[in-house]
């Protein structure tokens, strides 16, 4: 069977084809720069080897920043006097995402199952503007199944890589679990991310001496809750509908948690 990845790899390795190598890598220039995905859809249960899942999603991201405002009130013997107040600014916007996953292992030495995949989320809300798309790759390692009130509890550890827009990349680790109750699966997860350098948030030129002070990598956290609803099988319609609520703190240079609401449509074995 023809393997398209082998052809891409040979293209990248062949130094006699600089144009083709450049075209192959060009998409990564446009899919980089943002720090964290707000969309998850990690239900805890993994796909079996050979099974795939495509998810499309849309939603609303809301983030808040606290800014200091100084108002001049007069002059006294000590000099100028200012009244200091703090304002909360809301940044919000619609976003969309596409996620592809495939099961690759049924078990491994320390647990049960493994699946890999990638997520593209766009655009990502940054401070004062809408950021470029985010691209992440990850592998989910299944943990031994538990039982809660005679219902299966599936959980996994998710390890992933976020493509950065500077000289570094982002890395994350996530724990997710879901309770299989039949046609409805409630789930939740929590993620910690070592973010890549954010070259867009400060508005500074990368050659500015203060650039690294405002755009250095950092840590942020995300937690999600949601539920997967299994739908009757109809041609072209999704197999699952998944509403989800996520909380991100902190986000870029934002000091207050951001709340996001999404709805995903999932197709088993693709569209």
In tens, the pLDDT along 148-205 reads 888 999 999 999 998 865 556 789 999 999 999 989 999 999 999 887 766 655 555 5
Given this model, what pLDDT does residue 253 score? 47
Given this model, what pLDDT does residue 118 score? 94
Model confidence band, residue 63 (pLDDT cutoffs 50, 70, 90):
low
Given this model, what pLDDT does residue 195 score? 79
Alpha helices in 139-270 (DSSP H): 211-215
Angle among Cα 200, 204, 206 to the nearest 5 degrees reads 85
Q: How far is Cα 12 from Cα 217, in angstroms, rounded to an integer? A: 29
Of residues 215, 39, 212, 201, the one with CA closest to residue 132: 201
Angle among Cα 220, 226, 231 to the nearest 5 degrees reads 145
Question: Please, what are the domains in the chain?
Answer: 36-69+86-268 (2.40.160)
The least confident of 5-9, 110-114, 131-135, 219-223 is 5-9
Q: What is the pTM of this model?
A: 0.73
% residues pLDDT > 90 (the chain) = 37
Task: Using alpha carbons, list the distances in angstroms from residue 229 to 123, 183, 226.
Answer: 26, 6, 10
Given this model, what pLDDT does residue 15 score? 42
8 Å CB contact between 143 and 155: yes
Q: How far is Cα 197 from Cα 217, in angstroms, rounded to an integer? A: 5
Given this model, what pLDDT does residue 47 score? 94
Mean residue pLDDT across the chain: 76
Given this model, what pLDDT does residue 112 score? 85
């Amino acid at each position: 069977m023809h393997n398209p990845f082998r052809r891409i790899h040979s293209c990248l390795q062949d130094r006699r084809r600089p144009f083709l190598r450049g075209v192959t890598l060009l998409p990564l220039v446009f899919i980089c720069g943002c720090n964290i995905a707000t969309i998850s859809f990690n239900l805890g249960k993994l796909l079996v080897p050979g099974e795939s899942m495509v998810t499309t999603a849309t939603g609303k991201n809301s983030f808040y920043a606290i800014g200091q405002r100084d108002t001049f009130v007069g002059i006294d013997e000590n000099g100028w006097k200012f009244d200091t107040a703090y304002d909360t600014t809301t940044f919000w916007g619609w976003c969309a995402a596409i996620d592809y996953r495939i099961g690759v292992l049924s078990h491994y030495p320390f647990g049960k199952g493994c699946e890999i995949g990638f997520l593209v989320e766009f655009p990502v809300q940054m401070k004062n503007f809408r950021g470029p798309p985010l691209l992440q790759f990850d592998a989910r390692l299944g943990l031994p199944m538990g039982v809660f009130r005679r219902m299966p509890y599936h959980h996994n550890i998710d390890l992933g890589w976020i493509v950065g827009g500077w000289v570094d990349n982002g890395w994350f680790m996530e724990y997710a679990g879901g309770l299989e109750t039949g046609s409805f699966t409630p789930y939740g997860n929590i993620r910690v991310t070592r973010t890549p350098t954010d070259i867009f948030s400060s508005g500074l030129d990368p050659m500015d001496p203060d650039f690294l002070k405002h755009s250095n990598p950092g840590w942020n956290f995300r937690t999600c809750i949601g539920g997967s609803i299994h739908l009757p099988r109809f041609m072209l319609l999704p197999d699952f509908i998944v509403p989800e609520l996520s909380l991100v703190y902190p986000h870029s240079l934002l000091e207050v948690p951001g709340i996001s609401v999404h709805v995903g449509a999932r197709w088993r074995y693709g569209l």
